[in-house]
Amino acid sequence: MSAEPLIERGTPAYRRACLALVVASLVIFANLYAIHPLLPLIAKQFQVSTLQAGNAFTITSLTLGLSLLVHGPVSDAIGRRAPLLVGLGVTALLTFSMAFTTHFSTLVWLRAALGIALGVLPAVAIAYLGDTMTRTALVGAVGLYIGGNTLGGAGGRLVGGFIAEHSDLQTVFLSLGVLSLSGLAVVARLLPPATGFVSRPLSLGGSLKGFVAHLTNPALLPAFAVGGLNFMIFINLYTYLTFRLSDGPWQLGAGSLGLLFLTYLAGTVSATFSGRVPFNRALHGMMTGVALLIFGTLLLLSDRLWLIILALLCNAFGFFLTHSLANTWVNQQAKFGKASASSLYSVFYYMGAAAGVYYLGYFWETASWHAVVIASLFVLFLNAGLIRTLYRHL
């Protein structure tokens, strides 16, 4: 029996697959980021310090990043669709459990476990698309998937804050649980099987050899680094900008600061637009994205709020353009173990975000906002150089 053909762009199967992954993305990233604006409420409700409350957020990102080293090889062995459905189901169960938690330590442990469940999506999504779609369809589908990431991240923060402001923390978790179960039902209904999937035997030695092969591939390692360094600067500029804008002369409150994340929606536009970029122009698109990040970061030197908002819009557009195209590049350049390669990209991505807290934090604590911007520009120019090295592999 001949293998089923790959999905073409514009077909009903293409629309079903894209919608299913966008819904999964909304669920995963809403669960990841919804408590970001709720940390003061968590500190008050559980009577812990602000730093301790922050652990409930950062532990999830950490376990998510580390879990990718396992999810990728497992997915390469057993498939794409089943692990994703299991991850969404476990996400719903853990989130419902948080609604009835009375001890802070239990909440942290549940959030740590949640990170492992959430990690299934970034580990398998791009590999799934690579297994099921033609190259032309793949680029567009990745853009839509990344667009779902931005909507989930921004929407999770906004909705979580809105619900908590008008109700309580328990209602936030119950709402997220219902969202997760609904998303599971939609994905199970819509997501086609990965017809081009070829199983690879699961073994520790084989997984390590696969990771080493990806890390020593000159067409992949710079792309991994681009993802990590990009996110390192993008997400942490938001973090320290909130400290800057909460002080004089702006003195913005928590609600106004939360609205800054609406600028993520520019990333939804650019991630979707990335689907129109032909694969042979992907590196040009990545370089354009970094150039926009550099321009936006320079604008952050301004003291005018409207220019700062414009800078964030520019940064979000540039970041998600590069991020979407880098994901596509990794998938296409990995000749085997695509989920493992996508997982390594995501490991660099999330570890970059964690490292950036301390990297930019040093300049924030010891110098000034101008030093934070200069330190960011240094990393972004390094990123442009890394993309330049990839041109020889077109």
**End residue of a domain, out of 202, 219, 243:** 202
**380 and 282 together in one domain:** yes
| pLDDT at residue 350 greater than cutoff 70 | yes
Low-confidence winner among 112-126, 180-194, 264-278, 299-313 (lowest mean pLDDT): 264-278
pLDDT of residue 234: 92
Report the pLDDT averaged over residues 203-211.
73
**194 and 297 together in one domain:** no
Count CA atoms closer than 13 A to 207's CA, side-chain side: 17
**89 and 161 together in one domain:** yes
**154 and 232 together in one domain:** no
Closest CA to 267 of 224, 326, 346, 322: 322
Closest CA to 156 of 240, 70, 261: 261
Torsion, CA 299, CA 300, CA 304, CA 305, rounded to 10: 120
Q: How many domains does the chain contain in total?
A: 2
pLDDT of residue 51: 59
**51 and 125 together in one domain:** yes
**156 and 58 together in one domain:** yes
**189 and 331 together in one domain:** no
Domain containing 9 — which CATH number? 1.20.1250.20
How many Å apart are CA 354 and CA 235, to the nearest integer?
Answer: 10
pLDDT tens profile 216-227: 888 899 999 999
Q: Are 250 and 123 in contact (CB under 8 A)?
A: no
As a whole number, the mean pLDDT across the chain is: 85
pLDDT of residue 1: 37
Report the pLDDT averaged over residues 360-377.
89
How many Å apart are CA 186 and CA 85, to the nearest integer?
Answer: 10
* Residues written for the chain: 394
Check residue 99 and report its DSSP letter. Answer: T
Higher pLDDT, 86 or 247: 86
Which residues lie below 8 Å from residue 375, measured CB to CB, with a gap of 6+?
Answer: 359, 360, 363
**229 and 189 together in one domain:** no
**End residue of a domain, out of 181, 202, 223:** 202
Q: What is the pTM of this model?
A: 0.75
Higher pLDDT, 50 or 281: 281
Cβ neighbours, 10 Å, residue 47: 8
Higher pLDDT, 262 or 302: 302
Alpha helices in 191-304 (DSSP H): 204-215, 221-246, 254-259, 265-273, 282-299
pLDDT of residue 268: 80
**330 and 217 together in one domain:** yes
* Structural domain of 349: 203-394
Higher pLDDT, 373 or 261: 373
**249 and 320 together in one domain:** yes
Report the pLDDT averaged over residues 182-193.
92
**56 and 6 together in one domain:** yes
Low-confidence winner among 158-172, 252-266, 317-331, 367-381 (lowest mean pLDDT): 252-266
pLDDT of residue 4: 67
**End residue of a domain, out of 171, 202, 233:** 202
**220 and 364 together in one domain:** yes
